[in-house]
With several copies, the nearest count.
Chain A
């Protein structure tokens, strides 16, 4: 972890409310699933940094892919080339590599795509399911197609692209077709993670989930980001955000 000044190199809309930003800064090597804490202004408003997953890092250029939700991400979307941001990271624990004998299945819902795509781009093998509400919500569609060795399936709830329905239905179908041992990598809404965890359990497959929780510090000092696990509370920011799905005690 390091606190660096990053320069915005590029910031462009790539889907409905979704932007891809390239920042120039020196990071240590990252594992997909790891994230950054971004400080958006030099005044104290907004006060907290925002956690965003690392999509890629290459020769001083880090990519983040984010959806505009509130004040922070709106400010981020307004940043122009040449503006400065402070960046803390890489933070947290990322995904573990699939074992040689395992088929990798990646599943992303909504804003869960960045760490999943990072993982698929790193491994260059396996199958990726991306689920959104509609076609316009899917960013970087062409780029996904271009990952050699990864088969892409889209699901949309309105049926405007790929399979009509939710991503976990497609996951269920896909898993039935795979003969060898699987490892599932999931990031997205809690309901999706829970469903993926349950499918994996039924199948006896490994499943790693990347969990989102409100954070204040992102480096383990404030206890904001607790998640209940079979071994008690863990910190999403340092002991996660990636957890073995079987260790999570899902809420409700």
Chain B
């Protein structure tokens, strides 16, 4: 049985299960509880050129079947990552996908150049960040801005380039096409939903940052629709992200058209979930008599 999946030239995952950015740090903590080599790939915390301190606490809060986070992209910066974390990740037999962001086109480009290194299997661009030059509108909210940004980054790296879309847009298909035309090798659908929580006793927002991003099972039905919609509009592979908790969810995302799946929030609750999910997927394929995982991808039947 073949559960490997090719995402881009030079990027082949041994299985379609990835960690998600921001819920796996740089892999060291999880490496203490399981062998990272069992994963299709590791997606790192989002990196920027310089270290970032992040937002005031509280930075997380629980919501019905989900959570909000407003970490504020705290990270150790590209140099420290390359020096201190990348070599360790290289000791595992898994793909290393480095998530990054910038506050302007320049920073995105510099990051792409910096990360064009041995030991980096692919880079994942987080475009849910405000473009300071354009008055703070997110890169991921305007197809022209996104297309230009992706094209610039594309020119700056030899690595497979994954663009992670923001979900809260009117026409997700347009954004997906803009990224594809800019030269993305694959898309991740999608990031968290802008949301908030209020404490009715103190009459204050719960998060230090007021708003945060909603993730977890609560958003899975929306993420599934987005993957279905996007994968029918683009020709490049789609990586699903949003609310995965089980092998059932993985199969559903594959049926909807995803080629791989990231597991984020649920791995905070259940850090050992990855192995069980991969095993469940294999059992499903055995039960259905499937030879290759590619038979599932996009094979949703009509209602």
Contact = CB atoms under 8 A, between A and B. Distances in A.
A binds B: yes
Interface of A: 1-3, 39, 44-49, 86, 88, 213-217, 219-227, 232-233, 238
Given A47-B217, A214-B61, A223-B74, 9 more contacts: A1-B32, A3-B270, A47-B66, A215-B60, A216-B60, A216-B69, A221-B30, A222-B25, A222-B69
Interface of B: 22-25, 29-30, 32-33, 45, 53-54, 57-67, 69, 71, 74, 216-217, 245, 265-272
Nearest to B245: A44
Contact of B268 (A1, A216, A233): A216
Contacts of B57: 213-214, 224-227
A249 to B, nearest CB: 12
A1 B25 CA distance: 17
Contacts of B269: 39, 44, 47-49
Given A214-B61, A223-B59, A225-B57, A48 B74 contact: no
Given A45-B64, A48-B67, A233-B74, A214 B59 contact: yes
Main secondary structure of the interface of A (DSSP, over half): loop
A214 B57 CA distance: 8
A47 B59 contact: no
Given A44-B245, A216-B60, A222 B268 contact: yes
A44 B216 contact: yes
Top 6 nearest A-B pairs (CB, nearest first) are: A224-B60, A217-B268, A214-B58, A221-B25, A216-B60, A220-B29
A112 to B, nearest CB: 18
A48 B65 CA distance: 9
Given A214-B58, A214-B61, A216-B60, A223 B67 contact: no
Contacts of B217: 44, 47
Contacts of A225: 57, 59
A47 B67 contact: yes
B64 A3 contact: no
Contacts of A88: 271
Contacts of A222: 22-23, 25, 60, 69, 71, 268
B65 A1 contact: no
Contacts of B45: 223
B58 A213 contact: yes
A232 B58 contact: no
A216 to B, nearest CB: 4
A47 B216 contact: yes
Contact of B54 (A44, A47, A48, A226): A226
Contacts of B53: 232-233
B80 to A, nearest CB: 12
Contacts of A213: 57-58
